[in-house]
Amino acid sequence: MYYAEIMLAKLRIFLLERGGQATAADGRHSDDELHLAAAALMVEAARLDGAFDEEERAHIGAILRQRFELDDESVAALIDAAVGAVDAIPEIYGFTRTIRDNFTHDERVAMMQMLWEVAYADGELHDYEASLLRQVAGLLYVTDQESGAARKRARERLGQ
């Protein structure tokens, strides 16, 4: 839990005090910031249908573990911090800006696939989830066609 509190404190500084700007001389964000931005978007997508159950949490954990090569303890702390971040900072623009500015185009398309997987993790897509993902795709500069293809791959991966 201590790690989650540190991550949330870093995110608050990052979004509220630094306005999403990197502090590194090369203009890059830390891995923690990128991981947290991605996790927060996934948590937001999962929670939009009014529920965030263990199945969705486990699915987000599996995606984070695979994508960022994290251990179980780090994944649990990252999800806790992401939940706290979404509760504390309910605006997605800061999260999407971090991802847009620091991920390659292919990585942003892969992020859309991750988000679609989270949205479909409970077996159905809620209207609010679909709306959020359309908005996120635009903010990440992912085209409708690319997002649609990512959605199709996510459903295939989930066996739907």
User: DSSP of 6-41, one letter per residue?
Assistant: HHHHHHHIIIIISTT---STTSPPPHHHHHHHHHHH
Stronger pLDDT, 156 or 123, i.e. the higher one = 156
Q: Does residue 135 have a pLDDT over 60? A: yes
Q: Which domains does the chain have, with CATH numbers?
A: 2-18+30-157 (1.10.3680.10)
Weakest mean pLDDT among 10-14, 58-62, 64-68, 129-133: 10-14
Q: Does residue 52 have a pLDDT over 60? A: yes
pTM: 0.70
For 79-107, what is the mean pLDDT?
A: 80
For 42-64, what is the mean pLDDT?
A: 85
For 15-32, what is the mean pLDDT?
A: 55
**Contact at 8 Å (CB) between 143 and 132?**
no
Weakest mean pLDDT among 1-5, 27-31, 127-131, 138-142: 1-5
Q: Does residue 153 have a pLDDT over 90? A: yes
pLDDT for the residue numbered 4: 46
pLDDT for the residue numbered 109: 92
Average pLDDT, the chain: 79
- Looking at residue 48, what DSSP letter applies? T
Please, what's the b/e burial string for 9-34 (b: 16 or more CB within 10 A of its CB; e: otherwise)? ebbeebbeeeebebeeeeeebeebbb
Stronger pLDDT, 45 or 89, i.e. the higher one = 45
